[in-house]
Amino acid sequence: MFEAARLHDGIEHTGALGGLLAGAVIGIAMAVAGAALIVCTAGLGAILLGVVLSIGAGAAPAMGESWGAART
């Protein structure tokens, strides 16, 4: 359980927000690239897009969070 803060305790913050934003930017970029793939291949890239987005959706936020945590 966390202890209550005292008057002269240091303030500590994490980089979780930065990680979240980095992961969101990477995810959006992947989604735009996937949409372009579907349009350019007349729909044949939809199967590949599903695989890529599934992997990216799971990996991008975790990578962004670890990147943000490493910067603090």
Give 23-65 pLDDT, tens digit per residue: 999 989 988 987 888 899 888 888 887 888 789 888 888 888 8
Residue 1 has what pLDDT?
59
In a domain, 28, yes or no: no
pLDDT bracket for residue 5 (50, 70, 90): confident
Q: Residue 28: CB partners within 8 Å, gap ≥ 6?
A: none
What does residue 13 show for φ and ψ, rounded to 5 degrees?
Answer: -125, 155
In a domain, 20, yes or no: no
In a domain, 60, yes or no: yes
Distance CA 2, CA 61 (A): 26
In a domain, 3, yes or no: no
In a domain, 11, yes or no: no
Distance CA 58, CA 43 (A): 24
In a domain, 68, yes or no: yes
In a domain, 58, yes or no: yes
Distance CA 33, CA 29 (A): 6
Total domains, the chain:
1
Domain interval for residue 64: 35-72
Residue 33 has what pLDDT?
86
Residue 4 has what pLDDT?
79
Distance CA 57, CA 66 (A): 15
pLDDT bracket for residue 72 (50, 70, 90): low
In a domain, 1, yes or no: no
